Amino acid sequence: MEAFCVKCKAKREIQDPQAVFTDHATPATRGHCPVCGTAVFRMGRTPAHAGMVAPERGAQKRARRKGKLVIVESPAKARTVGRFLGKEYTVKASVGHVRDLLRSQLSVDVENDFTPKYRVPNEKRPVVKELKSLAKTAEEIFLATDPDREGEAIAWHLVESADIDQDITKRVVFHEITEPAVAEAFAHPRQINMDLVDAQQARRVLDRLVGYSLSPLLWRKVRGRLSAGRVQSVALRLIVEREREIEAFVPVEYWSIEAEFLPQGAKRKDTFIAKLSRMDGEEPLLENEAGVKPILEDMEKAAYVINKIKRGERRRNPLAPFTTSTLQQDASRRLGYTARRTMALAQQLYEGIDIGEGGSVGLITYMRTDSTNVSEMAQAEARQFIGERYGQGFLPPEPPIYKAKARGAQEAHEAVRPTSVMHQPESIKEFLNRDQFRLYQLIWQRFVASQMTAALYDTLSVEVTGQTPAHEYLLRASGSTVRFLGFMIVYQEAKDEDAVPEEGEDSRIPADIEEGQAQKLMRLLPEQHFTQPPPRYTEASLVRTLEENGIGRPSTYAPILGTIQ
């Protein structure tokens, strides 16, 4: 049996071989170089180990262990968690993943069950070395990485790369970085969930297989150093198909006719607008100006009267608290933030900010989620706040329950919400920068609104008929007024540019009109239109489309958009 001699710089036959076990119960052989006498060592089991009992893993050093080591991903998270745990805990950051597939090769053995080949990057070796040194002396080790598949995988990679003793290692999970949540997590630790780790590895392997197959094709056919991937290629196809739709679109002319009426006996300012809906009982064909002119001339001669009035009530329910995708969409519409910017700010709010309470505190729950669930404790706090701030009339009888709309939603976490509604945006504004404040205010308002009652509208729809010897015309108008603001006292939804306005959203109809009341035609308002092509994707609308089609996960939307741009 040979081993490498560091002095001779060559392999030598082991002299006086002795079968041994390392501190971590790994079989090995110890001996001397026959040329220079230097001690040599070779790992691996040999026939000489037969019948030998391996020592308990790490038993020799466990007696000297003391203290508790906690490993998280980021320094900011480490500072916040460390403040809650106290001096007996040492909290260190891995700064993300500590090992990954090799960048220079496929790193997946497709002939051997697609086994991945991992390596600790050079820039992460000092981190791993420090963690390995601390882990050797710690009495207990807690892996407190993020509560998703990626966080679970980071925890597993830490154990593997830093040679952490699994017998004293526990996994802790919390969805918000607050003192009660951290205390609850450390009171109920668990083992690493290998199902989640394997799910992350499968996704990573798929990404590598697809990317390494497609990227070289792009380099040859399009341009060098372009990136392709399992999900981003699908997103890019959506954009290309939309662009082709726009290029192939042929606009078609059409017209609409509206009329301004003044109820009999009303003041001049009490006019309202109604739209031509039927002509002789059928939908009018208003294809061009030539076809519209005779109708306008005939409508000028008609006598108009209100034929039907319908009054009603409409409820507008609050939206669910934010998920990752809805947060990115609303931040894009309202604040003009890119998905990447939104997630970076949300990460800062999640990991903790000093708001004058003796140290950093997490302001929002975990921001990578497809769930709209809310804890009972958070709902109870929100209901108490709403009742005291806005009154009992703004509270629904029971706390609302929302269902996730995303296809294939796993709902493993809570919705994105403030860790405490008592941290009102204005009260902590001085501790946040402008972008952090605007995003936190948006999250706070959306969550508080989601726990409030619906807004109530009084609706009014009117049918006006006009009669001439040649034709009978039916024009319709509808409007609504807010009777009770409900959740809208806190938050109103922002809409995409291509969103269709609700019927009667901007209409104003006099409240005192009556059926049978004659109407004076003030003017006709013909308008030429052309059908419009589908709009190009914005970041908000692309994220919505990805989610609706089950493409990607909450953690991947921002990287997808960043790559394809």
The amino acid at 91 = V
The amino acid at 341 = R
Task: Outline where 96-142 has alpha helix (H).
Answer: 125-137
Burial of 121 by CB count in 10 Å (0-12 exposed, 13-18 middle, 19+ buried)?
middle
Beta-carbon contacts of 320 under 8 Å, excluding residues fewer than 6 positions away, are 326, 372, 402, 415, 450
Residue 395 sits at the vertex; the CA angle it makes with 390 and 401, to the nearest 5 degrees, is 135
Which tokens hold the place of 416?
């994105």
Helix/strand/coil for 75: helix
Which tokens hold the place of 131?
């963690």
Which tokens hold the place of 538?
């914005």
Residue 170 sits at the vertex; the CA angle it makes with 378 and 373, to the nearest 5 degrees, is 20
**Is 72 within 8 Å of 78 (Cβ atoms)?**
yes
Of 154, 128, 130, give the one whose Cα is nearest residue 143: 154
Q: Are strands 68-72 and 89-93 parallel, antiparallel or unpaired?
A: parallel
Task: Outline where 99-231 has alpha helix (H).
Answer: 125-137, 149-161, 179-187, 194-221
Q: Are strands 169-171 and 140-143 parallel, antiparallel or unpaired?
A: parallel
> What is the DSSP-derived secondary structure letter of residue 230?
T
Beta-carbon contacts of 531 under 8 Å, excluding residues fewer than 6 positions away, are 251, 252, 254
Which tokens hold the place of 490?
């806190």
Give dist(CA 315, CA 488) in Å, integer.
12
Q: Are strands 108-109 and 68-72 parallel, antiparallel or unpaired?
A: unpaired
Helix/strand/coil for 282: strand
The DSSP bridge partners found for residue 519 are 263, 304
How far is C-alpha 145 from the chain's CA centre?
18
- What separation in angstroms does the CA of 525 have from each of 264, 274, 303, 475, 564? 20, 10, 17, 13, 45
Q: Are strands 89-93 and 518-530 parallel, antiparallel or unpaired?
A: unpaired
> What is the DSSP-derived secondary structure letter of residue 416?
B
Give dist(CA 150, CA 166) in Å, integer.
19
Residues involved in catalysis: 366
Give dist(CA 230, CA 227) in Å, integer.
11
In the block, residue with structure tokens 């208003």:
286
**Is 469 within 8 Å of 437 (Cβ atoms)?**
no
